[in-house]
Amino acid sequence: MFEPFRNLKAKNIPLPMKDIDTDMIIPAQYLTKTDKFGYGENLFERLRASDPNFPLNLEKFKDGKILTTRSNFGCGSSREHAVWALLQWGIRVVIAPSFADIFFNNAAKNGLVLVRLPEDLVETILVESETGNYYIEVDLESQIVTLPDNSKHHFPFDPFRKECILRGLDDLAYIQSFTSEIEAWHQRRQAKVFYNTLVKNFN
């Protein structure tokens, strides 16, 4: 399980790069743990170390919880650690024109909300966010992004994944939420099997 997500209004961090792969998000040398914790401090570590002006190094973006970037975010390997690192840094939403498929699925299973918006709109957000005082509101329930100029933009989202994120359920927790129904089905099935056995023995 994870923290449910419904609505967030937060500062946006602009990252004007495309094809950001999972090794850039969390370098392989940090994947030595046997659990999913402790990755946030190494988010974009190589980029942060090589460029003092990398957005996550700048004070004006310090409290940002939304990250906007260019197309094909999360490509490369299938490492789920990339999603964990983003969440542990404090990022709950990533906005981009497109995402790599495996990363997209990993994000949904962990409560990281990925918002797909048109490329021209993303470019506008990237430029205007450079001030460090650009706040975006993301409402998952209505699937609406509201920008500072009060313009509203709808984004697509898978209905099943939407329900899980709204409720804070990963795949296992979703199945467990039906425990009472599953047990009731087993009881009905057992009663039917017992009845059929009796009928068969009397015939």
- Rounded CA-CA distance 149/136 in Å is 10
The parent domain of residue 51 ranges over 7-168
Q: Are residues 126 and 195 in the same domain?
A: no
Q: Are residues 127 and 180 in the same domain?
A: no
pLDDT at 176: 55
- Rounded CA-CA distance 187/118 in Å is 51
Backbone φ/ψ region at 7: left (φ over 0), alpha (ψ -120 to 50), beta:
beta
pLDDT at 1: 82
Q: Which tokens sit at 186?
A: 């087993």
Q: Are residues 75 and 158 in the same domain?
A: yes
Instruction: Give the E-state strand segments of the chain in sequence order.
Output: 7-15, 66-69, 93-96, 113-116, 135-139, 144-146, 152-154
In a domain, 91, yes or no: yes
Q: Are residues 158 and 178 in the same domain?
A: no
Q: What is the mean pLDDT of the chain?
A: 90
| pLDDT tens digits along 25-47 | 999 999 988 888 999 999 999 99
| Residues of the chain scoring pLDDT < 50 | 174, 178
In a domain, 2, yes or no: no
pLDDT at 166: 97
Q: Which pTM does this prediction carry?
A: 0.85
Q: Are residues 91 and 188 in the same domain?
A: no
